[in-house]
Amino acid sequence: MSTQKPPAFFISGSLGLDFLNTLATPVDTPVDWIDSGEGLLAWLEEAGLVIAEELMAVRNRAIPGEFDAIAAQARSLREWFRSFVRERSGRKLVADDLRDLEPLNRLLGRDERFAQIVTGPSGGEPVLELKALRRWRTPESLLLPLAEEVGRFVCGEDFEYAKACQGSTCTLLFVDRTRGRARRWCSMAICGNRAKQAAHRHRRKADR
């Protein structure tokens, strides 16, 4: 697979589903944005889940090859979550689904969150605010914001409206928040436009 990747997709309306979309076939060739440790770090920063200063602090404590191992764990989490979503897409979650969320709860249970009073902007004037922070003790802690976004999707979104793009080769997922729940494409600029062009070619061929 080429090392040159297109920009990651953030089109689903949920970072939890965007995490699933780090493995996708937007055109013809599958792309994995977290196929390595460096890929995982880049995606976490681009998604805004870990800031550059925090990533640098974790880098300073890592040993060679450790990030690649964490990326492999992230891919395992991704595929577990993909199966969970596929099995429940189109219906509401029920209490019995909690049993299958045990792997996620075990991961969430490792988190070390704390709060600090910091200064924050308010109309140009600094004010005090309470901010939630996380201790990044080990590279494995990079899995925690991923688990949190997965948990936020599970608890905050309606699985009835989790959909797969209808593009013939596209595998991107999204939450349909349109009026009438009529969204069909990951993006009108990508698969929607491709479908329009295909329909146009088909009509011209039929006319001839």
> Does residue 168 fall inside a structural domain?
no
Q: 200 pLDDT exceeds 60?
A: no
Q: 47 pLDDT exceeds 70?
A: yes
> Does residue 25 fall inside a structural domain?
yes
> Does residue 162 fall inside a structural domain?
no
> Does residue 176 fall inside a structural domain?
no
pLDDT, position 134: 93
> Does residue 192 fall inside a structural domain?
no
Q: Cα separation of 145 and 147, whole Å?
A: 5
The range of the structural domain enclosing residue 102 comes to 15-157
pLDDT, position 6: 86
Angle 171-174-180 from CA coordinates, rounded to 5°: 125
In which band, very low, low, confident or very high, does the pLDDT at 205 lie, cut at 50, 70 and 90? low
Strands 162-164 and 173-175: antiparallel
